[in-house]
């Protein structure tokens, strides 16, 4: 057992987060800065302590020769600026931000709270080089542009899983509430050798909160002058000694039609949305990883002429665009019980859309499954990551796009992949990263996407990074035109 106290030059630091890097062991200090970590296996670890407004604390500890409890005194220094967060998006493995050869921008919940918004889509409007764009003034569909490239070139992930694509990238982005977010990691530029060929313009990885480190209860609500209501509620539940559950509920409502410019059309789409999220964190022997998360999302939105009501849905008397969206997701990570570091990650989502654009109905279903196995291995100066992945995509709608000779024929494809990445430490100041991904699509054949990066550390605060990569994207007509 590890016990200790977290202090600063001004006294105890209440509610600091303490955890062992690369494991599922973590806890929060109490109001006096006292903490306890229990059931830690023998071995060597890196202990981290973090708190808002303080520099992260790191210390290597060994438990092999410790009898009884290990007592620690931790002192946190006030932070001038947070530069050295732990990130995973650039290289698919935890690394300090300053040491990563791939430039990764990190945004914490503190950034999101400076300008409260109901979802991820609105929150990203304050990030340089990232532009959420509304593509339809009636239904308010939107996508996210990175460095000027169109939205379909941006890959949006949750906990490293590519579950936001196709139908979900049009109306699903507004369904990711800020209350679930531990941090947002953004990579601008190609990252396709690790995450798939669609990550041409860049990627946005939403890291959800870690259940053992989440507060026991949290609530956040706001209302705007236009009558928008948003409520976020979160809770941590200790199911057993080795299992923690994080529960989050988000509700958003806007149902007051407003026409400021007098064109008889709603200025903002009316929305009624609920999202329920649950994440299970299981502690295992030797600090191996096992997490399982699920989310359900439902939204009813409409826009159009001011006189429109649900009774006119699908008719041609009064124009309106009405979209019902139902979506559920499941994702998880499981570290295999072997000596080598093998991690299996998986995700599956089902997205159903029932919509009408005037008198034109559009019904669509999409299911995406994804599985990935990675092997993390360090050999001398080489930090290797090898992996294989399989992606399944099912898409069916009410248009001729999925019909053949008057018979319905959904689009169904499986894409197997292999990838390798090698980060070479040339010296204490220079590192080189190379990567290659191979995908096979039965419609387009063999797809190779290489990637390279160089990091040159001039001083502790001055770093030059050079990145180069390619990508390949399959066109999705619905993503570009939203059936309008």
pLDDT at 82: 47
The domains of the chain are located at 1-81
Instruction: Give the pLDDT band of residue 483 (cuts 50, 70, 90).
Output: low
pLDDT at 187: 85
Contact (Cβ atoms closer than 8 angstroms) between residue 20 and residue 26: yes
pLDDT greater at residue 102 or residue 254:
254
> What is d(CA 407, CA 81) in angstroms, rounded to the nearest whole number?
60
Residues 40-83 have pLDDT tens digits of 888 888 899 988 778 888 888 888 888 778 889 999 987 644 44
| pLDDT of 287 strictly over 50 | yes
> What is d(CA 306, CA 291) in angstroms, rounded to the nearest whole number?
46
pLDDT at 482: 60
Q: In the CATH scheme, what is the homologous superfamily, with its name and number, of domain 1-81?
A: Carboxypeptidase-like, regulatory domain (2.60.40.1120)
Residues 200-254 have pLDDT tens digits of 788 888 888 877 777 788 888 989 888 999 998 988 888 888 899 999 899 999 9
């Amino acid at each position: 057992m590890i016990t200790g106290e977290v202090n600063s030059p001004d006294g105890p630091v209440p509610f600091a987060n303490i955890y062992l890097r690369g494991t599922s062991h973590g806890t929060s200090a109490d109001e006096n800065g006292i903490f306890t970590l229990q059931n830690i296996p023998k071995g060597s670890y890196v202990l981290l302590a973090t708190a808002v407004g303080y520099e992260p604390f790191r210390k290597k500890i060994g438990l092999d020769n410790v009898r009884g409890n290990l007592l620690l005194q931790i002192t946190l220094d006030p932070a001038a600026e947070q530069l050295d967060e732990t990130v995973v998006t650039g290289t698919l493995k935890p690394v300090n931000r300053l040491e990563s050869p791939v430039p990764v921008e990190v945004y914490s919940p503190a950034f999101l709270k400076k300008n409260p918004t109901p979802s991820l889509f609105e929150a990203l409007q304050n990030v340089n080089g990232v532009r959420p764009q509304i593509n339809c003034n009636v239904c308010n569909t939107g996508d996210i542009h990175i460095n000027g490239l169109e939205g379909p070139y941006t890959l949006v992930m949750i906990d490293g899983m590519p579950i936001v694509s196709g139908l979900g990238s049009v109306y699903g982005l507004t369904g990711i509430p800020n209350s679930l977010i531990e941090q947002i990691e953004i990579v601008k530029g190609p990252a396709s050798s690790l995450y798939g060929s669609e990550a041409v313009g860049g990627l946005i990885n939403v890291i959800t909160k870690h259940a053992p480190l989440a507060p026991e209860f949290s609530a956040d609500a706001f209302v705007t002058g236009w009558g928008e209501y948003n409520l976020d509620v979160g809770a941590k539940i200790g199911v057993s000694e080795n299992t923690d559950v994080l529960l989050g509920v988000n509700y958003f409502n806007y149902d007051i039609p407003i026409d400021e410019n007098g064109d008889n059309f709603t200025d903002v789409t009316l929305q009624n949305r609920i999202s329920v999220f649950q994440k299970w964190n299981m502690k295992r022997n030797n600090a191996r990883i096992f997490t399982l998360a699920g989310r359900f999302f439902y939204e009813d939105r409409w826009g159009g002429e001011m006189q429109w009501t649900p009774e006119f849905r699908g008719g041609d008397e009064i124009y309106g665009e009405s979209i019902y969206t139902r979506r559920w997701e499941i994702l998880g990570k499981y570290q295999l019980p072997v000596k080598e570091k093998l991690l299996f990650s998986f995700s599956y989502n089902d997205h159903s859309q029932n919509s009408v654009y005037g008198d034109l109905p559009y019904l669509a279903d999409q299911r995406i499954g994804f599985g990935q196995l990675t092997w993390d291995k360090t050999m001398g100066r080489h930090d290797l990551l090898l992996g294989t992945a399989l992606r399944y995509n099912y898409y069916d709608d009410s248009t001729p796009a999925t019909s053949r000779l008057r018979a319905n024929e959904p689009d169904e494809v499986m894409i197997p992949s292999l990838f390798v990445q090698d980060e070479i430490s040339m010296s204490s100041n220079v590192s080189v990263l190379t990567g290659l991904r191979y995908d096979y699509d039965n419609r387009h054949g063999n797809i190779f996407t290489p990637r390279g990066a160089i990091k040159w550390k001039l001083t502790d605060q001055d770093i030059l990074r050079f990145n180069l990569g390619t990508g390949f994207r399959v066109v999705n007509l619905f993503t570009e035109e939203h059936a309008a």
